[in-house]
Amino acid sequence: MPGNAPAARHQGNEALSSESRTNAPIALRVIPRDQHTLSRKDISQGALRVLYRLHEAGHRACLVGGAVRDLLVGGHPKDFDVATDATPEQVKKLFRNCRLIGRRFRLAHVIFGPEIVEVATFRGTGDGEENGDRHIVDGRILRDNVWGTIEEDALRRDFRVNALYYDIGDFSVLDYVGGIDDLHDRVLRLIGDPEQRYREDPVRMLRAVRLAAKLEFRIHPSAVAPFAALGDLLGEAPPARLFDESLKMFLAGYGLQSFRELERYGLLQHLFPVAARVLARDADHAVRRLIEAGLANTDARVREGKPVTPAFLFAVLLWGEVRDAAEAEVAAGVEPTLAWQRAAHRVVAEQSTRVAIPRRFAQVMEEIWALQPRFTQFARKRVFRLLTHPRFRAAYDFLLLRAAESDYQRQVGDWWTWAQGATHEQVAQSLAQVQQAEPSVEPAATLSEAAPAAVAKKRRRRRRRSPSAAGGAAAD
Ligand code: ATP
Ligand code: MG
């Protein structure tokens, strides 16, 4: 549709030159080096080298965005972004270890071993005759490669606290939009008209929630107000981008808080409709407890520097629906292995229309889920086979989270914990006890060899109840 392009571009320019963007009076506030706390010793070696090299070559070079924000509130940035008036090609000429990336948003990556410093050229508004291109359709920015001034670059950023610059030329902090005030007030406020900024890029709604969770800031009411009307636009965001954004939300150490804020602001349903649906019918809060325990566990692992995987995260978020669907099928007479497979596939497929879960993670999730019913099958052969299953560890970690679901699940978890430390004979003996367990034997309250008896007894009781319970849940 080449005929539509000029119209779309025109519409975009109109939108961008509204009072909230380029025509707004800009009051630059310069905070000199002795009046702020941002110190060069907190900046990565790689970022400093990039800043100095650009500066020596006669370019303007600033640290910008999340790094400046985090350093000013005493945090530790996870990456350092640089903004400059040098074009990507000029940056590339200055650094041997540099590659140009991106189409929608062209950038230079300067690589120092494990560290990548992202170098972006100041973006303009596209009003003038600059070189480069910007593409806007229905108010949404699809491409943003128009070079501009540092003031324009500040205005096209999302939140005021994200538009602060640390200038390597004189070590001052530059504030074009009131970001310093917001940092002081611990509030996230959009630059310009909130509705227009969310329409340009709906993912900014998720960024608001994520940054509020990460920084423990509040979201300004003006930035919250459009969520109800515009949340639906997230359905049109590319699922691969929502996957990346989900990882930043949930695997960076503040996942539980992100989850709570997503729910609080009514955005969870747009990102994880499956989880939102289960939580809506989760009368005894068992699913909520499991999700919260899973996210808290992941946050703790991140803090301890242990590895975390998206597979576990999504297994936790989607579990309630998979379990209910599988149990309903089993109750309807479907063979259990097939029932679990079908339920897992269906739920993953539904979630993937929103957040693209790469196949390699989906496979692990499906294995973790499929092993869950096997933890309550205490036939001797099956128990020993499960203990040596290659996916036992991940499935067992997941089982432990399910202790949040019920006392029964906690006892099952306890037994498997005990079984891993017990000898082959002890496990065999414990299982023999299950077969002979008297119905009158009291459930063992503590972790011991007697636990399987209690577990088996409970299971008998649960079984009689479960077809209607499972069917009832799934029919909601
Ligand atoms: P984090 O601490 O998670 O890295 P961040 O704010 O640095 O948070 P990045 O994705 O690294 O997030 O982006 C760097 C900067 O680029 C932001 O601070 C902001 O100025 C700008 N930016 C990022 N995404 C957008 C967006 N969708 N719209 C406008 N500006 C954005
Ligand atoms: Mg960043």
Q: Strand, coil or helix: what is 281?
A: coil
**81 catalytic, yes or no?**
yes
Residue-level pLDDT at 105: 85
Judged on CB neighbours under 10 Å (0-12, 13-18, 19+), 421 is: exposed
Residue-level pLDDT at 451: 55
Return d(Cα 92, Cα 86) in angstroms, integer: 10
Q: Where in the chain is the domain with CATH 1.10.3090.10?
A: 247-475
Residue whose CA is at the smallest distance from ligand 1 atom 12 = 66
Q: Which of 153-162, 378-387, 396-405, 459-468 has the lowest mean pLDDT?
A: 459-468
Contact indicator for 286, 302 with CB cutoff of 8 Å: no
Return d(Cα 331, Cα 197) in angstroms, integer: 49
Q: Which of 58-62, 201-205, 469-473 has the lowest mean pLDDT?
A: 469-473
- CATH superfamily placement of domain 2-236: Beta Polymerase, domain 2 (3.30.460.10)
Q: What is the pLDDT of residues 96-113, one digit of tens each?
A: 999 999 888 899 999 999
**414 catalytic, yes or no?**
no
Q: Enter the tokens of residue 212.
A: 């509020």
Judged on CB neighbours under 10 Å (0-12, 13-18, 19+), 476 is: exposed
Q: What is the pLDDT of residues 47-74, one digit of tens each?
A: 999 999 999 999 999 999 999 999 999 9
What is the average per-residue pLDDT within 100-129? Answer: 88
Return d(Cα 165, Cα 160) in angstroms, integer: 11
Of 220, 154, 190, 179, which Cα lies nearest the Cα of 73? Answer: 179
Q: How many CB atoms lie within 10 A of CB 458?
A: 18
Phi and psi of 198, rounded to 5°? -75, -35
Q: Enter the tokens of residue 124.
A: 């303009």
Average pLDDT, the chain: 86
* pLDDT band, residue 418 (cuts 50/70/90): very high
**175 catalytic, yes or no?**
no
> Is residue 20 over pLDDT 60?
no
Ligand 1 pocket test, candidate residues 44, 80, 162, most atoms within 8 A of CB: 162
Alpha helix ranges (H) inside 422-450: 424-436
| pTM across the whole model | 0.85
- Ligand 1 centroid–CA 255 distance in Å is 18
> Is residue 448 over pLDDT 90?
no
In the chain, the N- to C-terminal Cα span, in Å, equals 45
Return d(Cα 184, Cα 424) in angstroms, integer: 61
Alpha helix ranges (H) inside 63-103: 66-72, 88-94
Q: Which residue has the tokens 């993670």?
A: 361
Phi and psi of 116, rounded to 5°? -115, 125
Q: Enter the tokens of residue 410.
A: 């906690």
- The catalytic position among 70, 144, 158, 282 is 158
Q: Which residues contact 309 (CB under 8 A, 6 or more apart)?
A: 361, 364
Decide: 145 in ligand 1 pocket, CB within 6 A: no
Q: Enter the tokens of residue 468.
A: 């209607």
Q: What is the pLDDT of residues 337-359, one digit of tens each?
A: 999 999 999 999 999 999 999 99
* pLDDT band, residue 458 (cuts 50/70/90): low
Judged on CB neighbours under 10 Å (0-12, 13-18, 19+), 128 is: exposed
Residue-level pLDDT at 452: 55
Residue-level pLDDT at 138: 74
Residue 393's Cβ-side half-sphere holds a number of Cα atoms within 13 Å equal to 1
Strands 164-167 and 61-64: antiparallel
pLDDT over 90, % of the chain: 76
Cα separation values, 146 from 87, 131, 411, Å: 10, 6, 61
Ligand 1 pocket test, candidate residues 20, 63, 122, 157, most atoms within 8 A of CB: 157
Tallying the residues shown for the chain, one arrives at 476
> Is residue 390 over pLDDT 60?
yes
Identify which ligand lies nearest to the alpha carbon of 191: 1
CATH class, domain 247-475, is mainly alpha
404 or 315, greater pLDDT: 315
Q: Where in the chain is the domain with CATH 3.30.460.10?
A: 2-236
* pLDDT band, residue 10 (cuts 50/70/90): very low
- Ligand 2 centroid–CA 252 distance in Å is 12
Residue whose CA is at the smallest distance from ligand 1 atom 28 = 158
Contact indicator for 234, 242 with CB cutoff of 8 Å: yes
Return d(Cα 390, Cα 455) in angstroms, integer: 24
Return d(Cα 36, Cα 135) in angstroms, integer: 38
DSSP structural state of residue 305: T
